[in-house]
Chain A
Amino acid sequence: MTLETTARQTFSQQNILDLDSFTSQDITYVLDNTLAMEQVLDREIRKVPALRGKTVVTLFYESSTRTRVSFEQAAKILSADVINVTSGGSSSKKGESLYNTALTIQAMQADIIIVRHPHSGAPHFLARQLEAKVINAGDGTHAHPTQSLLDLYTIRKNIGTIEGKKIVIVGDILYSRVARSNLWGLTKMGARVVICGPQTLIPNDFLNGHRTEEGHPFAGVEVQTDLDAALKDADVIMTLRLQLERQKAGHLPSLREYSQTYGLNARRLAMAKDGALVMHPGPMNEGVEIETDIAHGTQSVIEEQVKSGVAVRMSLLYSMAASQNLEI
Chain B
Amino acid sequence: MPTFNRYKHFVIYGVFVPLIEKRIQNPVQIERALTRISHEILERNGGVANLVLVGMHSRGVPLAHRISSAIERFEGVKVPVGKLDIGMYRDDISEKGSPVMKPTDIPSDINDKTVVIIDDVLYTGRSIRAAMDAISDFGRPSQMQLGVLVDRGHRELPIRADYVGKNVPTSREEDVQVRLQEIDGEDAIVITSNSDNTGDVI
Contacts and interface: CB of A to CB of B under 8 A. Distances in A.
B96 A324 contact: yes
Interface in A44-77: 44-45, 47-50
Contact of A5 (B89, B96, B134): B96
B100 A321 contact: no
B88 interface: yes
Contacts of A327: 94
B137 A48 contact: yes
Contacts of A326: 94
Contact of B93 (A3, A32, A47, A321): A321
A189 interface: no
Given A48-B137, A322-B93, A10 B88 contact: no
B30 to A, nearest CB: 21
Interface in B20-48: none
Contacts of B89: 48-50
A328 interface: yes
B147 to A, nearest CB: 23
Interface string A309-328: 00000000010011110111
Interface in B125-146: 133-134, 137-138
Nearest to A44: B138
A32 B85 CA distance: 13
A322 B98 contact: yes
Interface in A1-42: 1, 3, 5, 7-11, 29, 32-33, 35-36, 39-40
Contact of A8 (B88, B98, B137): B98
Given A47-B137, A49-B133, A318-B88, A328 B94 contact: yes
A167 interface: no
A38 to B, nearest CB: 10
A323 B102 contact: no
B180 to A, nearest CB: 16
A322 B95 CA distance: 8
A7 B102 CA distance: 15
A43 interface: yes
Interface string B33-65: 000000000000000000000000000000000
Nearest to A45: B137
A10 B100 contact: yes
Chain B interface size, as a band, is: 20 to 34
A323 B97 contact: yes
Contacts of B14: none
Contact of A36 (B88, B137, B138): B88
B99 to A, nearest CB: 5
Interface size band for A: 20 to 34
B68 interface: no
B88 A48 contact: yes
Interface in B71-101: 85, 87-89, 93-101
B181 to A, nearest CB: 21
Contacts of A35: 101, 103
A259 B189 CA distance: 67
Contacts of B101: 32-33, 35-36
B175 A1 contact: yes
Given A43-B138, A49-B89, A36 B97 contact: no
Nearest to B173: A1
A44 B175 CA distance: 38
B104 interface: yes
A36 B102 contact: yes
Contacts of A3: 175
B88 A49 contact: yes
Nearest to A323: B97
A230 interface: no
A134 interface: no
Nearest to A28: B100
A268 B85 CA distance: 45
Nearest to B174: A1
Contacts of B87: 33, 36, 50, 318
Contacts of B134: 48
A78 B175 contact: no
Nearest to A328: B94
B104 A78 contact: no
Interface in B99-116: 99-104
A33 B94 CA distance: 16
Interface of A: 1, 3, 5, 7-11, 29, 32-33, 35-36, 39-40, 43-45, 47-50, 78, 318, 321-324, 326-328
- Give the 4 A-B CB pairs with smallest separation, nearest first: A36-B101, A322-B98, A8-B97, A48-B88
